[in-house]
Amino acid sequence: MFSRTVLGALRPQAAKLPQAPLARRHISVYGYTQAKALIYSKYGEPKDVLRLHKHSISAPHATQVNLRMLAAPMNPADVNQIQGVYPSKPPFQSALGNAEPAAVGGNEGAFEVLSTGAGVKNLSKGDWVIMKQTGQGTWRTHAQLDESQLIKIENKDGLTPLQVGTISVNPVTAYRMMRDFCEWDWMRAGEEWMIQNGANSGVGRAAIQFGREWGIKTLNIVRQRKTPEETEALKKELKDLGATVVITEEEMMTGNFRDMVHEYTRQGREPIRLALNCVGGKNATALAKTLAPDSHMVTYGAMSKQPVALPSGLLIFKNLSFDGFWVSKWGDKNPALKENTIKDVLQLTRAGKFHDIPVDNVEWNWNTEGPALSESVQGTLGGYRSGKGVFTFTGGDE
C-alpha cells in the first residue's frame, strides 16, 4: 500500500494521468484502488484529530482480499478510543502511506468483497464480510485484509448492510451478557425477569428482543425525554420490540419503585435474575436492589461516569455477583463462539425477529469532505441522537 505521492514516485506513468478525475471520484488505476480513510495520529476530540486520508490499495496478493465499505456505525467506544481514554488502542502505523503514523477509526462494519488474491479460498467478489476482530479500523471507503481476518456473511440476500454492519458489537454484547452470567431456568420461560438501564441503546434494544424470543421478561429503564409525548413514544417503541415493562429513570427513583417491581413480578413470584447496567451510580444501585438472591449484575458501560456503589449487604446476604463485559476482549478470546453468536442473530434477523436499530445515516461518497465526517463522529456522545450514526459508502463499486 502506498500513498499517492509514493505511488507517483514509484510508477511515473501514474503521475502522467489527468489529475482532475482522480480527485473527483473513485477509480482504479493500473490495478490500484483509490481509497479514503478517517484516520487519527494523536488522541483528542474527533473533530480535532480525525482527518480524511486518501491513499491507494494494490491488487490483492495471495490470501489478501480487497473490500469496499457498505456500512460502518459510530459507537460511543469508537469516540473514547479516539479520545485516548479507551483501554484498547490500535497502534499508530504508516501502512496507508500516511507520513505521520496513524490509526483508522471505527471498530465494526459491513464490507463487500471487490477482488481476491489467488490464495483466497472461501470468499469471492460480491460476498459480504465483517472483521473478525475490533480495532482494525472500519471508517474507510476501502480496505485490504487477509482472508483469515474476515467472517463471511452467509445468505446475505435477506439482509441489509446496516444489519450486518451493526451486528458484531451491540447485539453480541446483549446476547452474551444474557447467556453467560445467569443460568436461566428454561422450564420457567415467561416467569423470569431481566432488568436493564439504557434500554433504548443498541444493546438495550437487542436485549429486549432476545428476551422476547427466549421467554425472559424485561423491565426496561430509559431516561425521560424532553416532552411527555416523546417519552410515551419511546416506551411504545420499545414495547413494540417486545419489552414487558418500560419506565423512566425518574419513575425508578421514586419511593414506590419497590412496590411497582413487586407488582410486575407477581408479588416477587417471578424473580429478577439479571441486571444489565450501562449507566452506573445510583441508577445501577437501584437496579441491583430489585434482584432476587443469587442473581447477577453485568456492567458494560458507565454513561453517568459514576462508579457502581454496592451496599455490602447485597453482596454478602443476597449473594449477588457483579461482573463486567467487554465485547472486544471477549471476542478475541472466543472467536468461534462470537461467529456462532453472529450467525444466530443474523438468522433471527432474516426471520424478521430482530429489528433494525434507529439510524442516523451519514452518507459518505467519494466527494464527502473530511470535516463533515469528523463532525458526525463528534456527535456520537451527544446524548439524545435520533439513532445510531452509521456511515454508508455510496461509491467505489468498480
Give the nearest distance from C-beta 86 to its own copies in angstroms.
8
Query: Is residue 268 a contact point for its own copies (CB under 8 A)?
Result: no
User: How are beta strands 388-393 and 359-364 bridged, if at all?
Assistant: parallel
**Residue 32 designated active-site:** no
Q: Which is nearer to its own copies, 17 or 309 (CB)?
A: 309
Please report, as residue ranges, which positions from 69 to 98 form the binding site for its own copies (by CB under 8 A). 87
Give the nearest distance from C-beta 183 to its own copies in angstroms.
15
Residue with cell 488474491: 117
Please report, as residue ranges, which positions from 339 to 398 form the binding site for its own copies (by CB under 8 A). none
Is residue 379 within 8 A of residue 389, CB to CB? The reply is: yes
Is residue 368 within 8 A of residue 398, CB to CB? The reply is: no
Stretch that binds its own copies, among 26-34, 184-192, 302-310, 367-375 (CB under 8 A): 302-310
Query: Is residue 301 a contact point for its own copies (CB under 8 A)?
Result: yes
Stretch that binds its own copies, among 137-145, 220-228, 296-304, 367-375 (CB under 8 A): 296-304
Listed in sequence order, the residues at least 6 apart from 245 whose beta carbon sits closer than 8 Å to its beta carbon are 217, 218, 219, 220, 264
Query: Is residue 321 a contact point for its own copies (CB under 8 A)?
Result: yes
Nine-digit cell at 372?
463533515
Stretch that binds its own copies, among 106-114, 186-194, 308-316, 339-347 (CB under 8 A): 308-316
Nearest C-alpha neighbor of 177 from the set 345, 280, 297, 338: 297
Q: CA 298 to CA 288: how far, in whole Å?
A: 10
Stretch that binds its own copies, among 121-129, 265-273, 325-333, 382-390 (CB under 8 A): 325-333
CB atoms within 10 A of CB 8: 15
- Three-state secondary structure call for residue 217: strand
Q: CA 123 to CA 147: how far, in whole Å?
A: 8
Among 1, 29, 95, 302, binds its own copies (CB under 8 A): 302
Query: Is residue 215 a contact point for its own copies (CB under 8 A)?
Result: no
Q: Which is nearer to its own copies, 87 or 383 (CB)?
A: 87
Among 311, 335, 358, 371, binds its own copies (CB under 8 A): 311
Query: Is residue 160 a contact point for its own copies (CB under 8 A)?
Result: no
- 93 pairs with which residues across the strands? 102
- Three-state secondary structure call for residue 293: coil
Is residue 164 within 8 A of residue 70, CB to CB? The reply is: yes
Give the nearest distance from C-beta 395 to its own copies in angstroms.
37
Among 243, 308, 345, 377, binds its own copies (CB under 8 A): 308
Query: Is residue 316 a contact point for its own copies (CB under 8 A)?
Result: yes
Nine-digit cell at 395?
461509491
Q: How far is CA 247 from CA 211, 226, 257, in A?
A: 17, 15, 10
Listed in sequence order, the residues at least 6 apart from 111 whose beta carbon sits closer than 8 Å to its beta carbon are 67, 68, 69, 70, 128, 129, 130, 131, 138, 143, 150
Q: Which is nearer to its own copies, 2 or 86 (CB)?
A: 86
Residue 291 gets which letter from DSSP? P
Among 292, 310, 337, 359, binds its own copies (CB under 8 A): 310
Query: Is residue 317 a contact point for its own copies (CB under 8 A)?
Result: yes
Among 323, 356, 363, 398, binds its own copies (CB under 8 A): 323
Q: Which is nearer to its own copies, 236 or 329 (CB)?
A: 329
Among 81, 98, 299, 341, binds its own copies (CB under 8 A): 299
Please report, as residue ranges, which positions from 272 to 291 form the binding site for its own copies (by CB under 8 A). 280, 285
Query: Is residue 107 a contact point for its own copies (CB under 8 A)?
Result: no
Q: Which is nearer to its own copies, 170 or 231 (CB)?
A: 170
Q: CA 314 to CA 288: how far, in whole Å?
A: 8
Report the length, in residues, of the chain: 398
Q: CA 37 to CA 138: how far, in whole Å?
A: 8
What is the binding site for its own copies (CB under 8 A)?
87, 280, 285, 299-302, 307-326, 329
Residues carrying an active site annotation:
86
